[in-house]
Structure 1
Amino acid sequence: MKTSQNNTMKESYVKSSVFSTRAMVTISLLTALSYVLMLLESPPYIGFLRLEFSDIPAILGAFWFGPAAGILIEFLKNLIKGITASNTMGIGELANFIVSVAYVVPASLLFRKLKGKYKSVFAFGAATISMMIVGFLMNYFVTIPLYARMYGGIDNIVGLASMVPGIKNMFTLILIGITPFNLVKGIFLGIVGHITYEILKKVIR
């Protein structure tokens, strides 16, 4: 009987409404943590890409309370960063939000729906593919053109990636430079996200 009650409590936590008091408090804490982690980033790759842990709190929030929680955390994190610490006039924050949402939403939807031992593999694998596709389209049509205007032309942006063989124009910059980075980032987030979730799941129990 006690075990059944514990299981019910755990399920009610995971399925809580994003608008419940528990969820709002947790989302606020996860947003603050996400913002701090966003400031702790790796050295830049090809000028403007950085690896950091700020999507992990959004992944946890989305797993516990649904995709809307993950989107909200990503939005608030980037909004605060854009207001307080942006050095790209909001372009980097816009890109981070769109790419991160493209990862967090499918990961959470599949993780909450799938059953079995390998559901994390399928969820994070699909999320990585989603992030790569959305990232390619967004960078080609939005982000890189905006950066080009900001830094004096596409040639200057391509020049930042001159250390990578084969990058000669915007298309090859995205295909050879940014897309592999998103692949690595997706795998990285999947591993860290899975481990973090499993650790916190045991603590919640």
Structure 2
Amino acid sequence: MNRSERTTKLTKMAMLAAISLVLVVLIRIPYPAAPYLVYDPADIPIFIGAFAFGPLAGLVLTAVVSFIQAFILGGDGLIGFFMHFVATGAFVLVAGNIYKRNKTRKNAVIALICGTIIMTVTMLLWNLLITPIFLGVPREAVMAILATVILPFNLLKAGVNSIVTFITYKSIAKFLHK
């Protein structure tokens, strides 16, 4: 890849990061069962970036967006950065690696399903460790809501973002690969 191609790729990745940040500012829907959990579509441009440019690019996008969201846009600081990075990072590494091997619609579905599963499982584990600190509650209180609140929230968030990614990716990819 020559310098011009690298600059173009970096510019397109910056655009995806900017769209992600705009989405997190404009669309924030508290989860009724736990208002501290908030749905936002900010991962969609990151997922698209992972599909278009590979899992490492998706991870870089995740780091940049997570940092800006957590420390500049008034997110949840270090804990918010960490949780967003590990959740979305797990997704893009798995889904991005699966999709890059065979870029078909069927493989995109498999990649998005696997990404959703790994993100959900990852967040079950990290919520068990981090949420007691973040909310100042006993670990048993978090264990009590793992199956009824945290699991469905993460499945919903990753699932909705995966569906939107699947629907929009091909048309956006045409622009990203020009």
Alignment of 1:78-89 (within 5 A): 78-89=66-77
Alignment RMSD (CA, Å)? 2.4
Say which SS state the counterpart of residue 154 (structure 1) adopts.
coil
1-structure distance, mates of 2:116, 2:30 = 21
More helix by share: 2
For 2:169, the equivalent position in structure 1 comes to 197
1-structure distance, mates of 2:103, 2:120 = 25
Deviation at 1:202, TM superposition (A): 4.6
Which residue identity does 1:145 align to in structure 2?
P
Alignment of 1:87-106 (within 5 A): 87-106=75-94
Deviation string, structure 1 residues 6-47 (Cα, Å, up to 9, x no partner) = xxxxxx9xxx99x81121111111111111111123331202
Q: 1:51 aligns with which of 39, 42, 52?
A: 39
Structure 1 spans left out of the alignment, 5+ residues: 1-11, 159-167
TM-score by length of 1: 0.75
2-structure distance, mates of 1:88, 1:117 = 36
1-structure distance, mates of 2:14, 2:168 = 18
Deviation at 1:116, TM superposition (A): 4.5
For 1:32, the equivalent position in structure 2 comes to 18
Work out the percentage of aligned pairs sharing the same amino acid. Answer: 29
Deviation string, structure 1 residues 57-104 (Cα, Å, up to 9, x no partner) = 111211121111111111111211222222533322321121111112
1-structure distance, mates of 2:72, 2:47 = 23
2-structure distance, mates of 1:131, 1:48 = 18
TM-score by length of 2: 0.86
Which residue identity does 2:134 align to in structure 1?
Y
Equivalent residues, number: 174
Q: 1:70 aligns with which of 52, 58, 63?
A: 58
Q: Given the superposition, is the C-alpha separation of residues 82 and 186 from structure 1 closer, same or farther in structure 2, using an over 3 Å criterion?
A: closer
More strand by share: 2
For 2:110, the equivalent position in structure 1 comes to 122
Q: 2:155 aligns with which of 183, 190, 193?
A: 183
2-structure distance, mates of 1:29, 1:116 = 25
2-structure distance, mates of 1:99, 1:84 = 20
Q: 2:121 aligns with which of 133, 138, 163?
A: 133
Deviation string, structure 1 residues 141-191 (Cα, Å, up to 9, x no partner) = 12x02213xxxx316xx9xxxxxxxxx821121221011111111221111
Residue 171 (structure 1) aligned with residue 143 (structure 2): yes
2-structure distance, mates of 1:59, 1:98 = 14
Say which SS state the counterpart of residue 86 (structure 1) adopts.
coil
Which residue identity does 2:85 align to in structure 1?
F
Which residue identity does 1:50 align to in structure 2?
V
